[in-house]
Amino acid sequence: MDLTLSLEQEAVRDTAREFAEKRLLPHAAEHDADESFPIDAVRKLADQGLLGMMIPVEHGGAEMDAISYALALMELGRADASVAVTLSVNNLVAECVTQWGADEQKKKFLPRLSTAEGLGAFAVTEPHCGSDVQAMRTRADLKGDHYVLNGEKVWITNASNAGTFLVIAGTDPVKRTKGFSAFLIEGGTAGMTVGKPEPKMGQRASHACPVVFTDCCVPIENRLGPEGSGIKIALSALDSGRIGIASISTGIIQACNDEMIRYAKDRVAFGKPISDFQAVQWMIADTVVDFEAARGLTLLTASRKQAREPFSDKAAIAKLFASEAANRAAYRAVQVHGGYGYSRDYRVERLYRDARVLTLYEGTSEIQRLVIARNALK
């Protein structure tokens, strides 16, 4: 694959880099410390056209290609993973509407998803099930011209500020994988209650909340796709979502190396900069290798998606490698900083915490290995 970027892709990357360095990085530690959702940054992302990157122009989006999207997320993730994952989840919802939505649904929801007020949340996980999506208990019972939803979702990213919820619920559990359907629910709908954000280890400015449905009425026209297609929609969304997480992971790897190199050049021990020591050089070298490999795998996957080629296995490979490499890079960054790396006064402490969840959401590392192995054994 030729990884040479077009002028348009370079322009998107540069725009995202400038935004990340000027708008996100200076405030990232503050938002992390007080766990405040960076709504102003999200609004500015919308103004830049980055929030609706993959939404068609006719519906208010920027309609960029998948490689541009991955490049932008790398830059945002390099500065603040909390903001980057906010955009990633919003895009996941928007892509589902673009792919599966009826014309009226696209006209109604896609323009909203290009704005901070219409921010998307993807509600699948429940208290007793994460990777085992078929174990979902949230029900959607058809009553005349509407569905009535009852149940609970947890760890729903963006829920505290979402204007658009994509919810998967059971419509006929007897049919197993074909017994679930997808629904688009507007924020503030009666019967849907968003709880307080979970107190998290990292990515603390990205709010993950429980969402409870109590006799929540959803018009039948808000069902996304045919009844029974919920699992299919969710799995296709996760394939695209894994490109997003791989991109964010790649950005964190680069941030870790930035901090390691800066500190290693300045820190003097035994009469010379620690960058002169082979032990430190090897940690930097290993992180450079991880970055290049993660970037290549992620852009390869994005190019396959853009070409409308099958990319499920490539998405799993990219997500698995990049997320685990980000955790390795964060470990090395703290190690190079020594005791200072354990202090919140240094950025690597936050990078270490932000990296940890990357191997958990959008499918754990173990799930990625299952996907990869099943594709290899076909």
Here the CATH number for the domain that contains residue 304 is 1.20.140.10
Domain residues for the domain of 62 are 7-113
Do 178 and 296 lie in one domain? The reply is no
Do 356 and 259 lie in one domain? The reply is yes
Give the burial string for 346-362 (b: 16+ CB within 10 Å, else e).
Answer: bbbbbbbbbbbbbbbbb
Residue at 243 is within a domain: yes
Domain count of the chain? 3
Residue at 328 is within a domain: yes
* Nearest Cα residue to 112 out of 170, 7, 186: 186
Do 188 and 288 lie in one domain? The reply is no
**Alpha helices (H) in 267-311, listed in sequence order:** 278-306
SS3 label, residue 83: helix
Residue finishing a domain among 93, 113, 133: 113
- Residues 123, 31: Cα–Cα separation, whole Å: 24
pTM score of the predicted model: 0.97
CA separation, residue 234 to residues 29, 52, 87, 92, 343 (Å): 33, 20, 18, 10, 39
* Nearest Cα residue to 136 out of 162, 157, 154, 158: 154
Do 280 and 218 lie in one domain? The reply is no
Residue finishing a domain among 231, 251, 268: 231
- Residues 187, 162: Cα–Cα separation, whole Å: 6
Residue finishing a domain among 72, 95, 113: 113
Element (H, E) at 72: helix 66-79
| Active-site option among 117, 292, 362, 366 | 362
Active site residue 362: yes
Hey, what are 70's tokens? 């991955």
Query: Are 231 and 262 spatial neighbours (Cβ–Cβ below 8 Å)?
Result: no
SS3 label, residue 121: strand
Q: What is the pLDDT along the chain (378 residues), one digit of tens a residue?
A: 567 899 999 999 999 999 999 999 999 999 999 999 999 999 999 999 999 999 999 999 999 999 999 999 999 999 999 999 999 999 999 999 999 999 999 999 999 999 999 999 999 999 998 888 888 999 999 999 999 999 999 999 999 999 999 999 999 978 888 999 999 999 999 999 999 999 999 999 999 999 999 999 999 999 999 999 999 999 999 999 999 999 999 999 999 999 999 999 999 999 999 999 999 999 999 999 999 999 999 999 999 999 999 999 999 999 999 999 999 999 999 999 999 999 999 999 999 999 999 999 999 999 999 999 999 998
Other Cβ atoms less than 10 A from the Cβ of 214: the count is 13
**Alpha helices (H) in 214-229, listed in sequence order:** none
